[in-house]
Amino acid sequence: MTPPTHTTVAVVGGGPAGLLLARLLHQAGIDCVVLEHRDRTYVEQRQRAGILEQGTVDALRACGAAERLDREGLVHDGVELRWNRRSHRIDFPSLTGGRRVWVYAQTEVVKDLVALQLADGPPLLFKAEVTAVTGADTEHPVVQYTHQGRSRTLTCDYVVGCDGFHGVVRKAVPEGQLQTFERVYPYSWFGVLADIPPSCDELIYAHSPRGFALHSMRSPTVSRLYLQVPNGTDPATWSDKQIWDELEERFAVDGDWKLRRGPITQRAVLPMRSFVTEPMRWGRILLAGDAAHIVPPTGAKGLNLAVSDVVVLARAFTERASTGSTAGLNAYSDTCLQRVWRAEHFSWFMTTTTHTAPEHSGFETRLQLAYLDRIAASSHAAAELAENYAGLPIG
C-alpha cells in the first residue's frame, strides 16, 4: 500500500499517546497518519510506567482498547506509605468517590492499541523516520520522512508531536517561541524486575533514612522494585544479595511482614527529572506527552498525562470537524497545562516527601516525617493525596 500524501492530522510517534490519539480520531471519522521511526517489536517492548489512572482506563474503554486490560489488569484501591517502621494505607475509593488505579504495563497498552490500529485504523507506518517539519505557520504543514528506503512527503492540516523528549517535532518550532522549565533531581531510581510473586497486594512507598524504596508489581508472579541511588550509579556494581538486603532495610516495618526474594531478571538506573514546555502549541504544531512534559516516576503521572493530552486534543479536533470551530484547538495548550502543572506539583511532592536528598539535614527530614504523620492523621490530607494519585478529571 502506498502511504497517503495528504491527511488531516499527521501524528509523529507511535507510542501510547500517538496511538490513542489516532484511535480517537478514527472513531470521530477524522483521517490521520501515524509515523513511528522504530519498528513494531521495539515499540511494543519499550518499558515505561505501569500505573493507569481511572481517567486513562475510562478513555481506553471508550475507544475499545480495554478488553485485555479489564481481563488481566490488577485493580488497586490504594497504596501503602511506610516511614519510621510505621505503615498507613491510603484508600482511594473512600476518599475520591470511587476512583481507583490499575497496574497494567505500558507495553501491554501499546500492544492493544497497535493491534486495533493495524486491524481497522488509519495508516500506522513503522520505521518511518521524520526528517523535517516545515510550514507550521501555514494552513498546510509538510512532514518529510523516509520509509522503506524512500524519501516521502506528507502534507496535512495539523502536526501532532507525540515523539517524546528527543523527538523532531518540538525542534521544528522556531527558537524563542517556546519556554521550558526543568528540574533535575540529585538522585535516581535503581529498578529491578524479579521472578517472584509480590510481597504486597498494593504499592508500597517507603521513606527511610537510607533512602526511598518502592515495591510494585508487573503481574501476580513478577515483582517490580526500586531503590533510590545516587546519580551515575552503575547497576552492575550491585549484587543480587545487596539489592535484596537494601530493599529489606528500607521496607522495614513493625509486624510480621516479610519481603520475598527471588531471581532478578532485569536491572536499570532511571534518572529523575521534571520538564515542561510552554505553550504546547505553535502554529499548526501541537505537542503531547513527553514531547511537552516529563515528570519523575514517583507520582505515576507520565503515561496518564499523555492520555489526558490526547483526549483533550481529540475533542478539539472533533469539534473542528463537526462545527468548524477551532476554539478547542486554540485552548488546547492552556487546558492541558493546568493539569500538567498540577501533576508536576504532585510528582514533586511525592518525590521530595519520600526521598532523602544528599543535602538533607535533620530539619528537612523532620519536615518529611511530620507531613507523613499528617497524612496518617488527617482524612483531608489523605484525600488530597488520593485524589491526585487516582487522577484528576480530564479536561
Active site members: 76, 205, 297, 301, 389
CA gap 47, 297 in Å, rounded? 13
Max distance between CA atoms of the chain, in angstroms, equals 66
Task: Return all residues near 367 (Cβ < 8 A) that are at least 6 apart.
Answer: none
Q: Which helix (H) or strand (E) holds 194?
A: strand 179-194
Strand partners, 151: 146
Q: Is beta strand 32-35 parallel, antiparallel or unpaired with respect to 6-12? A: parallel
Task: Return all residues near 308 (Cβ < 8 A) that are at least 6 apart.
Answer: 55, 56, 336, 339, 394, 395
What are φ and ψ of residue 166, in 5° steps?
-95, 10
Among the listed residues 46, 34, 193, the one whose alpha carbon sits nearest the alpha carbon of residue 106 = 46
Report angle CA 250, 256, 260 to the nearest 5 degrees. 60
